[in-house]
């Protein structure tokens, strides 16, 4: 008798979950959450809980994002139409990041860093949510990725515009735009330029996709072009470089993907032209190195005094990261900055290694290597529906390059969530479209 009622209840649940209205509701809630968290991420920080004057007030923070994401994951886990519920696959990257961040949470608790403990479960959920939500309908998986991605990217872009508008207001007081740091729109807290630039990273790195699909999605291409122009103008005005470099990288990656997909259909003339361009760029690079070496026409001084050249190829971040890595090897279990006064790194993963030790650094490095593998598997896929790689692969590359150059993914941990969400979507697409059964 019990089995009879269990079967009836199960059928009833499945019938409800199959309803298009229910599924649309869940997906819409997630899109709204992504947009809101991207737009208001400064306000969702958890540190307020440990400011005495704010403890008694009600706040919406990233814990709410976690609970909504958990609801979405559970929905797709019990939905019989979802492949996520039909075949639970071993996801080694997910297991690694869960264990690594659990260790971070334990160490935070021991050292009474309570504000960062919730990210022990918030960050892995961002990855899992990106993976789970794609496995409902193979005919719409790419559309889902597009909607989810731009829900987050547009929110982040808008808050970047608002933050820059705040900098424009500083002209009245200082007589010029601030280029190192300025007040954020929502909280009034001062943030450095590189943190402010993160708002444009997802829009910048998605331009290759809209360029590739400009004939099918001309409206999106037009709006995207306007947004990109604004981002580049903002960067130039505040002497920023990150989004400009990431834009160039996005175009290069898009061209490489396109040539890979269409190599057999490309004319011999274009192939030769491409070869000549590559050879020309190589020759120019070697000539510049030679000129620098012999210091022709005082080129070496021009290089070091140049805003762009010295800022890109001789960036202080490289030496900071190298020194930080050596210090971590020498003091694998100690925060070498606090205990020995050594220089900290300028990279997210190395910063985790400084604070939590070399074990956490190894865990996060393994996670990154495995997600890079998934990204390359997507990039090398030539299936008909794999054109979404023109969005996800440059985005994955650019956002992880940002994390490699900036420690914000550690200092402001919610900044790591977009990157984890993208990694989860890549893994979800890979698992859904994999025909071999094993995906690890």
Listed range (60-69, 143-152, 230-239, 330-339) with the worst mean pLDDT: 60-69
pLDDT band at residue 184 under the 50/70/90 scheme:
confident
The reported pLDDT for the residue numbered 56 is: 47
Q: What predicted TM-score, i.e. pTM, was given to this entire model?
A: 0.87
Mean pLDDT across the stretch 323-337? 93
Mean pLDDT across the stretch 46-75? 73
Whether the predicted pLDDT of 35 surpasses 90: yes
Percent of the chain beyond pLDDT 90?
A: 48
pLDDT band at residue 435 under the 50/70/90 scheme:
very low
Of 277 and 150, the one with more pLDDT? 150
The reported pLDDT for the residue numbered 239 is: 85
For 437, counting Cβ atoms within 10 Å of its Cβ (0-12 exposed, 13-18 middle, 19+ buried), the class is: exposed
96-129 CB burial, b ≥16 within 10 A, e <16: bbbebbebbbebbeeeeeebbbbbbbbbbbbbbb
Q: How many of the other CB atoms lie within 10 Å of CB of 282?
A: 10
The string of pLDDT tens digits covering residues 269-293 is 888 888 888 898 889 889 988 887 8
Closest CA to 179 of 189, 192, 190: 192
The string of pLDDT tens digits covering residues 97-120 is 999 999 999 999 999 888 889 999
Q: How far apart are the first and last CA of the chain?
A: 42
Q: Where are the domains of the chain?
A: 2-265+315-433
Listed range (48-57, 227-236, 238-247) with the worst mean pLDDT: 48-57
């Amino acid at each position: 008798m019990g089995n009879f009622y269990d079967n009836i209840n199960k059928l009833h649940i499945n019938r409800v979950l199959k309803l298009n209205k229910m599924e649309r509701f869940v997906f819409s809630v997630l899109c709204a959450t992504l947009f809101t968290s991207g737009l208001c991420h400064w306000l969702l920080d958890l540190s307020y809980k440990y400011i005495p004057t704010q403890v008694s007030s009600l706040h919406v923070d990233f814990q709410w994002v976690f609970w909504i994401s958990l609801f979405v994951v559970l929905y797709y886990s019990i939905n019989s139409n979802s492949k996520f519920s039909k075949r639970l696959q071993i996801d080694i990257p997910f297991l690694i990041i869960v264990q690594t961040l659990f260790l971070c949470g334990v160490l935070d608790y021991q050292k009474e860093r309570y504000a960062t403990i919730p990210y022990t479960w918030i960050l892995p959920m961002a990855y899992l949510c990106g993976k789970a939500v794609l496995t409902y309908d193979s005919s719409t998986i790419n559309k889902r990725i597009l909607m989810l991605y731009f829900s987050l990217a547009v929110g982040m872009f808008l808050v970047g515009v608002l933050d820059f508008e705040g900098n424009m207001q500083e002209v009245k007081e200082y007589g010029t735009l601030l280029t190192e740091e300025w007040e954020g729109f929502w909280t009034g807290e001062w943030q450095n330029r590189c943190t402010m630039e993160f708002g444009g990273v997802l829009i910048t790195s998605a331009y290759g996709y809209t360029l590739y699909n400009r004939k099918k999605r001309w409206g999106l291409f037009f709006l995207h072009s306007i947004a990109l122009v604004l981002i580049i103008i903002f960067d130039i005005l505040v002497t920023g470089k990150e989004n400009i470099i990431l834009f160039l990288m996005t175009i290069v990656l898009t061209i490489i993907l396109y040539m890979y997909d269409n190599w057999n259909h490309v004319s011999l003339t274009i192939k030769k032209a491409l070869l000549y361009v590559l050879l020309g760029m190589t020759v120019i690079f070697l000539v510049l190195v030679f000129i620098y070496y012999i210091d022709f026409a005082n080129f070496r001084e021009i290089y070091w005094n140049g805003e762009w050249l010295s800022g890109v190829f001789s960036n202080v971040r490289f030496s900071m990261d190298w020194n930080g890595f050596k210090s971590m090897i020498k003091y694998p279990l100690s925060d070498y900055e606090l205990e020995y006064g050594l220089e900290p790194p300028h990279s997210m993963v190395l910063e985790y290694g400084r604070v939590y030790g070399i074990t956490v650094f190894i865990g996060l490095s393994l996670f990154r290597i495995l997600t890079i593998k998934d990204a390359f598997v997507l990039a090398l896929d030539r299936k008909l529906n794999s054109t979404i790689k023109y969005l996800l692969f440059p985005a994955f590359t650019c956002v992880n390059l940002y994390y490699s150059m900036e420690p914000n993914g550690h200092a402001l941990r919610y900044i790591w969530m977009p990157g984890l969400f993208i990694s989860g979507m890549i893994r979800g697409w890979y698992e859904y479209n994999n025909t071999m059964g094993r995906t690890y």
